[in-house]
Amino acid sequence: MDITDQQWHEEQRRVDGVVGKMDQQIHQLSLEVGDVKSEVVDIRTHFWDDVKVYMGTADDMGETYTSLKQQVEMLSERERSHRLAYSSLKKLARMVKSPYFGRIDFEEEGTQDKAAIYLGIASFMDEDDQTFLVYDWRAPVSSLYYDYPPGPAAYDTPSGEIKGEISLKRQYVIRDGRVSLMFDTGVTIGDELLQQVLSRSSDAQMKSIVATIQKEQNQIIRNDRSRMLIVQGAAGSGKTSSALQRVAYLLYKNRETLQADQMLLFSPNPMFNSYVSTVLPELGEENMQQTTFQQYLESRLGREFQLEDPFIQIEYVLSAPEDEAYVARTTGIRYKSSTSFLAVMDAYKLWLEQQGMIFLSIRFKGREVVSARKIRQQFYSYKSSVRLANRVVLLRDWLIKEVIAFEKAERSMPWVDDEIELLDADDYRRAFKEQQRVHKDESITFDDADVEKEYLARMVVHEKLKPMRRRIKQLRFIGIRALYRQLFEKEGLFASLAGGEQALPEYWDEISKQTTGRLEQSELAYEDATPFLYLMELVQGFQTNTSIRHVIIDEAQDYSPFQLHFLKRLFPRCRMTALGDVNQGIYAHASALGENDPIAKLYGVEETELIRLMRSYRSTREIVEFTRGMVAGGEEIMPFNRSGEKPQVVVAEDREGLHDGIVADLQTLIAENYDSIAVICKTANESADVYAALQHRLPLLLVTKQTSSFEKGVQIIPSYLAKGVEFDAVLIYDGSAERYRRENERKLFYTACTRAMHLLHIYSLGQPSPFITSQAGDSFDLLQLQVNV
Ligand SMILES: Nc1ncnc2c1ncn2[C@@H]1O[C@H](COP(=O)(O)OP(=O)(O)OP(=O)(O)O)[C@@H](O)[C@H]1O
């Protein structure tokens, strides 16, 4: 339905009115912020002037305390007002140029009132008559906008469902206070605006999608029933976008009880953190915590081991020769990531409760303080009904007592006299002070030489034993590394825990050899890190994190069932949102979204909800139609209706020709103002070679696993680091059969191709990959580059 000039005029008048009121509030708030700020500075500068300090009697001190307390309270109250006024000011400054993006006219059942509800990134109230001129997009009533076309509609409120009728649904694009686009929409949020948004250039940073959230995405954003929400969605279907809007929604809905730092996002790599870091601030919310799983592993095991990161593992899987060691390792990777291995670990723990614990002797100056054998005896002397981790605590306390006894005896050893000789004046002073502190009520002097010597001996021995006591407190007397090794070394142990020889993975001997070999070098393969940590936690007691209330796992398909179980135990109080695409699983390990859907079983059916997103928004129809043929079930992926050129497959006969073709292509794309372009290579090695070969011909950026921010320009990037991000144009460096042919490369290739928003060119040195040639011939254009002569 066309909008008349009259309506257009009225809408602009309303925008002018709202913007005028916003300007007024901005003015008022700026004054307030200035005033409060100078007040705060004043209180800080003259803080002591207004505090009455009397120290004579207990009453005086009480008065001083009260006066001080009042002054501190006043300061913090003023600081709070400053923070509030400042954040309202920031919010208004963001809204004033574009105060809202949508409107619904809604008549509640049983009333005659038709209310026009305008939606923006935050609420804005008319201070004169206390009415909402703009509603926050997250308010309960706003869900009408995302969920219903004009007609009967309903929304949930804390006091029940409200039914009624939507008579109008309108969208706006308002820039600098002018309505630049406006239309009434039907079934869903209008394609027209979405078309516009999606045809824009890719950004170095992800954008918020509040104005165009789709109905199925809204279900993800507002879901707050289930403990575990799983989103399985096609490439580019808005999983990450929805997850970030969801964070903003949950922060709004639970603003009294939930803070941004109680939410944690697990990202696929550090660069991704920078890519998504602006979405929440754009919506006026603080960012949640962000980390990668590898960063967590590093924080726990990085001091003791050289940890292999997942990218080194993937480089190995993609590039190493396929000999027996390779097949054994990849089999091991799959096994060690499975719940079968998790079950072995749990059984191992039960076994250890009865036997087999390995302890390290406590030694001092080459002598045994407590032998490993004695520690073990003590450990197994505790009742077997006491849990393993609790017995470890008892053992720790026992060891501390043993050390105290040892410490006493040690004071009369000759080495102590030698050490005392070496003490200087400062040490003496320290010893004296320490003794004074310990014996507060006794009058201490160093008049008597024997007393002095005793004190000094006590100090010397105590100091020297500090590291030992620290190690005991950190439970470093448990041989976790040896326990992990024992599992792979002890004849028959693994098989009996796994339920028999037949349950052992293939290539068991080689897997054991590889595992123990690396441990001896103090290396931990990526596939061993989580199981190792799990064993450590089983034995020492879980170091859980109860402050995090919500965990969001992006690219969930890249987590193994084992890792997911581990996360569940790590965050026992939290809810989880896991987003993934089974077709983009690029690791050799079993996937949490793989066969038998291990992720769905994590919290059980009752507490789990699964939402599927099948419409892809990132890429043009042509790119989606081409790429979806590469993966199982791809026919269900629906392109959004936006057209572009067909993907091109460009075959070169030699590397020089390939490079010339790519450089010419890049130059054209740059001239045509494509802002972000990626040349996606298979591995980091290939990326480094391409960068070295082409960097003198045009400006390029090389993305490595160390890259921490996502930038515009031409990026040379390994396929697995391009996860989650997108580019205006994607050139696949070499999509030949030589490079992409194995089944485990299919998803990698699909992931790389689906990074393209507007244009996809696949170069191929020789015969193109079967993942291309098996596609319908009319879904891409095939070009042959001329051979260089
Ligand atoms: N409702 C929407 N309105 C506007 N843009 C959208 C919407 N949904 C998704 N997009 C856009 O589609 C692109 C892909 O979204 P996003 O990265 O969230 O998808 P994804 O499912 O996480 O993708 P992948 O799994 O391939 O990494 C982004 O540019 C995003 O802004």
The three state secondary structure string of 499-550 is CCHHHCCCCHHHHHHHHHHHHHCCEECHHHHHHHHHHHHHHHCCCCCCCCCE
Q: What is the pLDDT of residue 247?
A: 94
pLDDT of residue 295: 93
Question: Is the CB of residue 217 below 6 angstroms from any atom belonging to ligand 1?
Answer: yes
Question: How confident is the model over 707-736, as pLDDT tens digits?
Answer: 888 888 899 999 999 988 999 999 999 999
Find which of 268-277, 590-599, 741-750 is predicted with most confidence, using mean pLDDT.
741-750
Separation of CA 85 and ligand 1 centre (Å): 34
| pLDDT for position 603 | 84
Helices 526-540 and 561-570: angle between axes, nearest 10 degrees = 40
Q: What is the pLDDT of residue 114?
A: 86
CA–CA distance, 128 with 84 (Å, rounded to integer)? 20
Helix (H, G, I), strand (E, B) or coil at 364: strand
Determine the atom of ligand 1 nearest the C-alpha atom of 242.
Answer: 18
What is the pLDDT at residue 401? 94
Q: Which residue has the tokens 């939507």?
A: 166
The verdict on the CB of residue 236 being under 6 Å from ligand 1 is: yes
Q: How many residues does the chain have?
A: 789
pLDDT of residue 501: 85
pLDDT for the residue numbered 600: 77
pLDDT at 46: 66
Query: In whole angstroms, what is the distance from residue 538 CA to residue 541 CA?
Result: 6
Q: What is the DSSP letter of 4?
A: P
For residue 374, report the distance from its CA to the centre of ligand 1, in Å: 60
Torsion sign over Cα 450, 451, 456, 461: positive
d(CA 413, CA 460): 11
What integer pLDDT is reported at residue 586 of this predicted model? 78
Atom number, ligand 1, closest to the C-alpha of residue 555: 25
In this prediction the pTM is 0.86
Name the residue with tokens 């993934």: 580
* Predicted confidence (pLDDT) at residue 37 exceeds the cutoff of 70: no
d(CA 162, CA 156): 6
With the C-alpha atoms ordered 698, 702, 703, 709, is the resulting torsion angle positive or negative?
Answer: negative
Higher-pLDDT residue of 37, 517? 517
Query: Which pLDDT band, with edges at 50, 70 and 90, does 370 fall under?
Result: very high
More confident residue, 59 or 225: 225
Q: How confident is the model at residue 580 (pLDDT cuts 50, 70, 90)?
A: very high
Instruction: Judge whether residue 788 has pLDDT over 60.
Output: no
Average pLDDT over residues 512-532: 95
CA 606 to chain CA centroid, Å, is: 26
Ligand 1 atom closest to residue 217's alpha carbon, by position in its atom list: 1
Ligand 1 mean position, distance from CA 191 (Å): 15
pLDDT band, residue 49 (cuts 50/70/90): low
Q: Is the dihedral of CA 165, 168, 169, 173 positive or negative?
A: negative
Tell me whether residue 226 is exposed, middle or buried, using C-beta atoms within 10 angstroms of its C-beta: 0 to 12, 13 to 18, 19 or more.
Answer: middle
Decide if 726 contacts 236 (C-beta within 8 A). yes
pLDDT for the residue numbered 40: 63
Rounded Cα distance between 19 and 92, Å, is 10
The pLDDT of residue 22 is: 93
Q: Counting atoms of ligand 1 from 1, which one is nearest the CA of 233?
A: 21
Tens of pLDDT along 150-171? 999 999 888 889 999 999 999 8
Highest mean pLDDT among 306-320, 401-415, 680-694: 680-694
pLDDT reported for residue 35: 67
Mutate to test the pocket of ligand 1, among 146, 209, 552 (most ligand atoms within 8 A of CB): 209
Q: What is the mean pLDDT of the chain?
A: 88
Partners of 681 in the β-ladder: 718
- In a 10 Å sphere around its CB, with 0-12 CB exposed, 13-18 middle and 19+ buried, how is residue 505 labelled? middle
Residue type, 738: E
Q: So what's the pLDDT on residue 288?
A: 92
CA 145 centroid distance within chain: 30
With tokens 């008579």, the residue in question is 167
Mean pLDDT is highest, among 425-429, 465-469, 543-547, for: 465-469
Beta bridge partners of 781: 648
Specify which residues 679 forms β-bridges with: 716, 731
From the CA of 424, how far away is ligand 1's center (Å)? 68
Q: Which residues are annotated as a binding site?
A: 233-240
- 593 CB less than 6 Å from ligand 1? no
More confident: 251 or 55: 251
Report CA(37)–ligand 1 centroid distance (Å).
Answer: 41
Q: What is the pLDDT of residue 687?
A: 96
Each residue's pLDDT tens digit, 391-409: 999 999 999 999 999 888 8
Note the pLDDT of residue 443.
61
Amino acid at 578: A
Q: Taking every pair of C-alpha atoms in the chain, what is the biggest distance, in angstroms?
A: 104
Give per-residue pLDDT as tens, 459-517. Answer: 888 888 899 999 999 999 999 999 999 999 987 899 999 988 888 999 999 999 999 99
Measure the CA–CA gap between 521 and 350, rounded to whole angstroms. Answer: 28
Measured distance between the N- and C-terminal CA atoms of the chain, rounded to whole angstroms:
61
pLDDT number for residue 418: 84
pLDDT given for residue 113 in this prediction: 82
Burial class (CB in 10 A: 0-12, 13-18, 19+), 348: buried
User: In this predicted model, what pLDDT tens digit does every residue of 638-661 receive, in sequence order?
Assistant: 998 888 999 999 999 999 999 999
The dihedral built from the CA positions of residue 25, 27, 30 and 36, taken in this order, carries a sign that is: negative
pLDDT tens by residue, 433-461? 777 776 666 665 656 667 777 888 888 88
Under 8 Å between Cβ of 620 and 349: no
CA distances from 457 to 60, 417, 443 (A): 45, 7, 19
Query: Of 63-67, 133-137, 202-206, 435-439, which one has max mean pLDDT?
Result: 133-137
Q: Report the binding-site residues for ATP.
A: 233-240
Q: What angle do CA 779, 782, 786 make, to 5 degrees?
A: 170
Q: How many whole angstroms separate alpha carbon 693 and alpha carbon 656?
A: 10
Is the Cβ atom of 665 under 6 angstroms away from ligand 1?
no
Q: How far does the centroid of ligand 1 lie from the alpha carbon of residue 579, in Å?
A: 12
Is the ipTM of this structure higher than 0.85? yes
Check pocket membership of 734 for ligand 1, CB cut-off 6 A: no
Q: Give, for ligand 1, the residue of 618, 675, 721, 757 to mutate: max count of ligand atoms closer than 8 Å to Cβ.
A: 618
Q: How far is the CA of 238 from the centre of ligand 1 (A)?
A: 3
State residue 32 phi and psi, 5-degree precision.
-60, -45
CA quadruple 236, 237, 239, 241: dihedral, nearest 10:
80
Give the integer Cα–Cα distance in Å for 184 and 639: 24
What was the pLDDT predicted at 718?
95
- Whether 234 shows a pLDDT value over 90: the answer reads yes
How many Å apart are CA 448 and CA 351, to the nearest integer? Answer: 57
| Pocket lining: 403 vs ligand 1, CB cutoff 6 Å | no
pLDDT recorded at residue 139: 94
Distance in Å, CA 641 to ligand 1 centroid: 14
Check residue 355 and give its pLDDT: 92
Q: Are 120 and 134 in contact (CB under 8 A)?
A: yes
Q: Is the CB of 726 under 6 A from ligand 1?
A: yes
